[in-house]
Amino acid sequence: MNAPRDRVAVYPGSFDPLTNGHVDIILRGARLFDRIIVAILRNAEKHALFTADERVAMAQDVFREYANVEVESFDGLLVDYAELRHASVIVRGLRAVSDFEFELQMALMNRRLGPDIETVFMMPAEQYTYVSSRLIKEVFALGGPVTGLVPDGVEERLREKRAST
Ligand code: PNS
């Protein structure tokens, strides 16, 4: 249950998989808001490496000791989900100018769909500004090291996934 004035944020994304850049943003959000809900899109891509349930489990494992970080999956419109969870803020990470155009479009569309919900952009620590889930998957698939760029548990799950395919 939310306390009456709890400021709840959702941090939506595909998280296929969660990277240390995501973790950095989530921890910053956890300091800024009373609660932050990591909201993992169920049908993000048909060709996701991990199922939504696997992505949720990996993120829950990373944040199990953080009382104000929750991890869930969602379907449908983000603003509907945010309203359902009484969240007034959508957090998105901005790494570089190249992120900005798409993020601006999404923020303005979400504002039109849910005028009471504010999008807040946060910058990750500079050592993660080049890290993306897509590059992690590519480097790992080709045998490159991703240690330090994803949580240890995620690296382990990547190894398991590679062994099973
Ligand atoms: O990690 P991603 O893939 O950049 O995240 C994109 C995400 C999940 C935030 C976006 O696709 C989304 O919010 N999808 C839910 C459907 C929706 O509300 N679409 C309109 C948003 S403008």
| CA angle (162 as vertex; 157, 165 as ends), nearest 5 | 125
Interacting residues of 59 by C-beta distance below 8 A, sequence separation 6+: 15, 18, 38, 40, 71
- In this prediction, residue 24 carries a pLDDT of 98
Ligand 1: residue whose CA is nearest its atom 16: 77
- In this prediction, residue 51 carries a pLDDT of 95
Rounded mean pLDDT of 12-41? Answer: 98
CATH of domain 8-163: 3.40.50.620
Distance from C-alpha of 153 to C-alpha of 148, rounded to nearest angstrom: 11
Provide the residue ranges of all domains of the chain, joining segments of one domain with +: 8-163
Rounded mean pLDDT of 113-124? Answer: 98
Please state, in angstroms and as integers, the Cα–Cα distance from residue 16 to each residue in 5, 68, 79, 136, following that order.
33, 22, 21, 9
Dihedral pair phi/psi, residue 49, rounded to 5°: -70, -45
Query: Is 106 near ligand 1, meaning CB less than 6 Å away?
Result: yes
Q: What is this structure's pTM?
A: 0.96
- In this prediction, residue 165 carries a pLDDT of 77
- In this prediction, residue 45 carries a pLDDT of 61
